[in-house]
Amino acid sequence: MIPVNFIKGRTYQRGISLIEAMVAMLILAVLFLGIAQVLARGLVSQRYMNTQNLALLEMRERFQQSNEINLCTNPGSLNWVGTVPLMANCNESEVTISAGGISVPVTAYSITLSTTENDTSSELFGGDGVIRMSDE
């Protein structure tokens, strides 16, 4: 039996496993960078969502605690993270309610509270920084 010599074949394969390992590392690096990008975008969206929810909760509280006339004349501002002024857009309309042959005129209010479009609002809420909430 003649012993087989693989030395000649090994000279042609030098560095192949190193190149394979480097390609695998490159693929893994691209994969991990993609995962990091998705995670970062998710965290930014979560931050904006949290601040928007806080603003909406404060606006709802103002709708519950104040009457329409006070909100129209003095909407105030969001003071929990700096000062974000609120704007109120108020509309009045006369509605006649009839029941049992009796008609009563009633004034109906439509109020929209919104944040102003400025740099502070944009940094807090993202986009143009405007959040609107209506009560009709």
- Least trusted range by pLDDT, from 32-41, 47-56, 67-76, 105-114: 67-76
Q: In angstroms, rounded to a whole number, what is the distance separating the alpha carbons of residues 37 and 25?
A: 18
- Least trusted range by pLDDT, from 5-14, 15-24, 68-77: 5-14
When pLDDT is cut at 50, 70 and 90, the band that residue 14 belongs to is: low
Question: What was the pLDDT predicted at 42?
Answer: 93
Please give the residue that has the higher pLDDT: either 95 or 69. Answer: 95
The two tokens of residue 34 are: 């993609």
What is the pLDDT averaged over residues 88-115?
Answer: 84
Question: What was the pLDDT predicted at 132?
Answer: 77
Question: What was the pLDDT predicted at 81?
Answer: 65
- DSSP label at residue 79: -
- In the block, residue with structure tokens 């404060």: 58
